[in-house]
């Protein structure tokens, strides 16, 4: 049920959900935490961008910005592994990594679609 909601309502790519499920090691709570961090980071990056551009929502949509989706799927394993290996605060590490990734890919989207 959680997966269907994230994919259908949240627009999360199914490949991303599959990777998160693997790294949650069967824990529904951990899977929810990972997904929450992704959506919160996307929201905050979008909110920060809205101070500079008019339509800050569309570059942060999974359905529209394939650059963001591809980068997230490609980097999610590294982010999760590094967060748990190197960071004192794994959730904070993941949050800041996701925000940086979203901002970079939103900028690339805007440049490519200008």
Quickly tell me which residue has 């979008």 as its tokens: 46
Distance CA 103, CA 61 (A): 12
The sign of the torsion formed by the CA atoms of 25, 31, 35, 36 equals negative
Q: Report whether pLDDT(93) > 90.
A: yes
Distance CA 28, CA 16 (A): 15
User: Would you place residue 29 in the very low, low, confident or very high pLDDT band (cuts 50, 70, 90)?
Assistant: very high
Average pLDDT over residues 17-28: 91
pTM: 0.88
Q: Report whether pLDDT(1) > 60.
A: no
| CB proximity list for 4: less than 8 A, separation 6 or greater | none
């Amino acid at each position: 049920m959680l997966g269907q909601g994230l994919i259908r309502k949240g627009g999360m790519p199914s490949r991303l959900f599959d990777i998160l499920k693997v790294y949650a090691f069967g824990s529904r709570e951990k899977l929810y935490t990972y997904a929450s961090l992704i959506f919160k980071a996307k929201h905050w990056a979008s909110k920060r961008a809205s101070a500079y551009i008019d339509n800050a929502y569309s570059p942060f949509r999974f359905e529209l910005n394939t650059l963001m989706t591809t980068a997230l799927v490609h980097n999610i394993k590294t982010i999760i592994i590094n967060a748990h290996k190197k960071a004192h605060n794994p959730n904070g590490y993941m949050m800041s990594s996701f925000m940086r990734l979203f901002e970079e890919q939103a900028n690339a989207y805007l440049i490519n679609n200008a």
